[in-house]
């Protein structure tokens, strides 16, 4: 069953990309389309972060991941390099879990 989903998703992605080649250039150069296309990656990344931080299956959970996210935000505000931001988030979440403060 999983292979069917992978193949169907791959086919859908290919068709979507193929359709993009047939759209008129005037449609793709509109300001609204460009603005939305520029914001889509940010929205998708924000949604991914929210799901990975607050969800376990179908359940809403607040645990060490939230503290890691908050630590990462502080590191970003301090203009730390990306790898440092990731490490800070991981270390904070790991320390809290090891201390038993957040599971």
Report the SS3 class of residue 64: helix
The vertex-35 CA angle with 30 and 38, nearest 5°, equals 125
What is the SS3 assignment for 56?
strand
Give pLDDT tens digits for 61-93: 999 999 999 999 999 999 999 999 999 999 999
**What predicted TM-score, i.e. pTM, was given to this entire model?**
0.67
Burial (0-12, 13-18, 19+ Cβ within 10 Å), 92: buried
pLDDT bracket for residue 1 (50, 70, 90) = confident
Going from N- to C-terminal start, the domains of the chain cover: 1-55, 62-103
């Amino acid at each position: 069953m999983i292979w069917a989903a992978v193949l169907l998703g791959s086919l859908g992605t290919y068709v979507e990309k193929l359709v993009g080649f047939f759209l008129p250039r005037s449609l793709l150069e509109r300001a609204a389309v460009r603005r939305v296309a520029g914001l889509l990656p940010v929205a998708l990344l924000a949604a991914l972060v929210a799901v990975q931080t607050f969800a376990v299956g179908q359940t809403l959970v607040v645990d060490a991941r939230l503290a890691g996210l908050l630590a990462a935000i502080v590191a970003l505000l301090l203009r730390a390099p990306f790898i440092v931001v990731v490490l800070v988030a991981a270390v904070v979440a790991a320390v809290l879990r090891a201390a038993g403060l957040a599971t």
